[in-house]
Structure 1
């Protein structure tokens, strides 16, 4: 099996060298970029299976880098390396299109575990190429677009698109809160739950033009999409 190709964006050269050598010993092919702009140029030239991105980068910060790559690839998993852990910082990271975060300092074992988990959770590509009807809306997961009456209604963030896809795949069924958190965030802790609430609020605003479409809270259990 071809080893996963990882793009590492880290401006601390000694740390980057250690990570690159260690990850290569553990079966990854690693390409390193010391700033966000160089990383973006590399990403546009070749495909990567996963990205590890430091938040504080020169020229183009990590959040901005991910927002740019999400314009062309809504699927590649992204793990942020950050010294921050406040709820608002996590929300910003997920909103930009990140899948997970790891707070510095961290162990190599934890990093490798998170990377394998993100790769394992990758949905089949064919699931993202569908055109899905949600009431009067047309949802294009691959393009992260929501159309209404043949007009582009909303350009969804990567995380909004992931969450809506999961709800649509389980429409008219109760989707457990813990299941959503573990599948999309890999963690059902307090910060992730608060972050998910933010994205559910955003989705409800996008869908409010059609009264027949509702995301119900099933108290103490989870959610149900009616459409």
Structure 2
């Protein structure tokens, strides 16, 4: 099995070396870059599985880099590893395309756990995308062509409906937080996006109404669980 390849951007050389060596001891392959202006060169030269970015960097800052990386690879997980952890920093990071945020100082155990979680979600999403059909009780879901079928009934899904249903399928029988859904589908948890999520959940429930074995259960104060 190929090793997970990590792009790690950190201008504190001592910290960068320690984290790189710690990751390498756990069998990760790490490319360490210390200057913001060198990041895209590394990204174009290598095929990375995950990015860990500091925000305060010489040259281009981490937020600008995340936006540029997102244009090159919309799916790659991005973790911000930084001392900047105020609410406005979190919002800026997520809007720039980040998937997670870890405050310095941090433990390697936390970093590894968050990396593994994002890589697992990425792998699950690729599995859903790669399969032509997913059986959801009496329905067949075709994510590649955004269709839901039950016998002779055909439902054409919108892009957001398709992405939301994929996320529910990936997390079948698991609790999935509203904040996580909003971040994955809309990019932030703004109030209006939260209301939009309610609308899309209602739509999906309506599509599955013909089969009582399929339920999108509301977990009060948490999110949802998709069972079938």
Structure 1 residue corresponding to 2:189, chosen from 186, 191, 197: 197
* Residue ranges of structure 2 left out of the alignment (5+ in a row): 131-143, 149-154, 203-217
Give the conservation status (yes or no) of the 8 Å contact 1:100–1:185: no
Give distance in 2, aligned partners of 1:184 and 1:55.
24
State the superposition RMSD in angstroms: 3.8
Could you list the structure 1 runs, at least 4 aligned residues long, displaced by more than 6 angstroms after superposition: 133-137
1:43-192 map, 5 Å: 43-122=43-122, 123-125=124-126, 127-128=128-129, 130-132=144-146, 139=159, 165-167=163-165, 170=168, 179-181=176-178
Cα displacement string for residues 1-42 of structure 1 (whole angstroms, at most 9, x for unaligned residues): 211000100011111111111110111000011122211111
Distance (Å, rounded) in 2 between the aligned partners of 1:21 and 1:64? 27
Assess, with a 3 A threshold, how the Cα gap between structure 1 residues 220 and 164 changes in structure 2: closer, same or farther: farther
Higher mean Cα deviation, 125-134 or 115-124? 125-134
Question: Over residues 158-215 of structure 1, what are the superposed CA-to-partner deviations in whole Å (9 max), with x where a residue is unaligned?
Answer: xxx7x971256659xxx999513586699xxxxxxxx8531x624878x9xxxxx933
User: Aligned in 2, Cα 1:201/1:44: closer, same or farther, shift over 3 Å?
Assistant: farther
- The residue aligned with 1:214 is 199
Structure 2 CA distance for aligned equivalents of residues 183 and 202 of structure 1: 12
What is the total number of aligned residue pairs between the two structures? 184
Does the CA-based 8 Å contact 1:164-1:203 persist in structure 2? no
- So what's the TM-score if we normalise by structure 1? 0.65
Unaligned residue ranges in structure 1 (runs of 5+): 140-160, 187-194, 208-212
Describe the shift of the 1:133–1:48 C-alpha distance in structure 2 as closer, same or farther (beyond 3 A).
same
Larger of the two Rg values belongs to structure: 2
Q: Contact (CA 8 Å) 2:78, 2:100: kept in 1 or not?
A: yes
- Which whole-Å deviations, capped at 9, do the CAs of 1:96-133 have from their partners, x for residues lacking one? 11111110001122212221222122134264573437
Counterpart-to-counterpart distance in 2, 1:4 and 1:91: 28
* TM-score, length-scaled by structure 2: 0.65
